[in-house]
Structure formats: structure tokens, C-alpha cells
Amino acid sequence: MSQHPVIPAPTAITSREQIATMGASLSAWAQEANDASEVRDAAARWSAITAYVRRTSREGIAEAEAVLRRLEVRVGQLLGPAVVGANQHSEGFSALNPSELGKAERSNLRDLAQHADIVEAVIAESTDANPPSQNKVLKAISASKQRNEVAEDQKWAAELREAAPQYDAQLDIKRQKISLALRTMLNSIESFTHSPADVAWMLSSAIDHVRVDLIRRLESASETLTSFTKELQ
């Protein structure tokens, strides 16, 4: 794969059209690139242009930030998921000096890559007055995760009620406490683990197994109760 297109000095940028043309070329190149180091280098050079445009112009800011977000998404894609016990080095990451990317930056880049659809949605709604900064995009991703968690909890509760319509209301309270405890544990682990994505996956799997087992037990208990009631009649 060829090196990234020439990125001029920030002071050479004089119009929105330049940003759009160069940005489109750079984004297209990044989609075909297979070296995380080269894409990250391009992102660093483009970041200087973005900062310059923010300081000196009121136009082209959203376009410049959008290109930077797409380059970050590509770096995250090339990094791949965190690997437990592998010191966080995927094949894409091996071309980079480990000291160049901190734990938080790796986590953010992977988050952007895993939610590229949200990145594009934020970009589509952004303006020069409210550009798609990385912080703005990460907040949108976090909000989406929270909505998904609430939806998953509601689905879980609905499944329990469907499996055992007459279940004790205290069971739902206990379920909510267990769910809260697991999520609290996940948040705590993410603060010091080297692989939050993998921990999240493992805890999510554990929650799913517990849920399925609980539903099966409730179904069995419901069938036993129904059978016993018929015998009494």
C-alpha cells in the first residue's frame, strides 16, 4: 500500500474546498490502508490542519474534524480487538511503537471503530459551529451503550415475566440488584484492566448464561406448580 497522500502545512489551507478535496482523498486512501502506523501518522498531520482551521476560520471546521474522525476509525479497525495476555499488540498495532499509544487512546480508537455508524451519524448532524469532535462522538457512543443496556434489562424482565407470569415481585428486585452489581464491577474493572473490551464481552456472556439458566429454572418451577395444582384438583 502506498504512503498517504501529501498533506500540506496547515498554513497552506486557504478554503473549505481545499479541505473537502484533500479530506476525501485522504479518507479514501485510509480505507485501503493496512498499516496502522501510516494511518496514525496521517491522522497526526491532519490533526494539525484541523487545529489550524479551528483557530483561523469559521468555515470547514466540520469537514476537517470529520476527516480526522474517519482516520481514527480506520486506526481502530487496524488495531483490532484487545487481546488478553498479548500486551495489547494486534498485527496492525505491531507497526507502532507501543509508547505512542496510551491505554485510553487505544480504548477510544477501538470504541470509534466498533461504532463507525454512530461516528457517521454524528458527522452528518454536525456543523462548523458544532463540529464532530472526538469527545462529542465518544459521548454519543456512550449514550447509545446506555440505551442498549436499558433495553436489554427491559427485555430480560419481559422474558422473566413471560416465563413465569406469577413470579414473586421480589425476584425482579433481586435481578435488578444483580444487574447493577455486575455493571458496577464492569465499570470498576475497566478502570484498570488492559483489555476492557474483552472483560465486557466476558461479563456480558456471563450475564446471558445466568439469564438463560434462570429462565429455564422458572419455566421448570412453573410447570411443576401447574402439575401439582392439577393433582390437587
Q: Dump pLDDT digits (tens) for 107-139.
A: 999 999 999 999 999 999 999 999 999 999 999
Name the more confident of 45 and 214: 45
Give residue 169's pLDDT: 55
pLDDT of residue 149: 85
With cell 454524528, the residue in question is 122
Query: Which has more pLDDT, 117 or 174?
Result: 117
Which H or E element spans position 185?
helix 169-190
Smallest CA-to-CA distance from 52 within 22, 83, 9 is with 9
SS3 content of the chain, % helix, strand, coil (to 5): 75, 0, 25
The whole-number average pLDDT for the span 59-85 is 89
Rounded to two decimals, what is the model's pTM?
0.65
* pLDDT at residue 30 tops 60: yes
Cβ atoms of 21 and 60 closer than 8 Å: no
> Of how many residues is the chain composed?
233
Q: Is the model's pLDDT at 207 over the cut of 80? A: no
- 156 versus 61: the higher-pLDDT residue is 61
Q: Which of these ranges, 115-119, 126-130, 142-146, 150-154, has the smallest mean pLDDT?
A: 150-154
The predicted pLDDT at position 101 comes to 78
CA distance 93 to 87: 11
Query: Would you place residue 94 in the very low, low, confident or very high pLDDT band (cuts 50, 70, 90)?
Result: very low
Residue 31 or residue 89, greater confidence? 31
Average pLDDT over residues 68-81: 93
What is the per-residue pLDDT for 6?
86
Per-residue confidence (pLDDT) for residue 25, from 0 to 100 = 94
- Name which residue leads in pLDDT, 14 or 191: 14
Residue 46 has pLDDT above 80, yes or no: yes
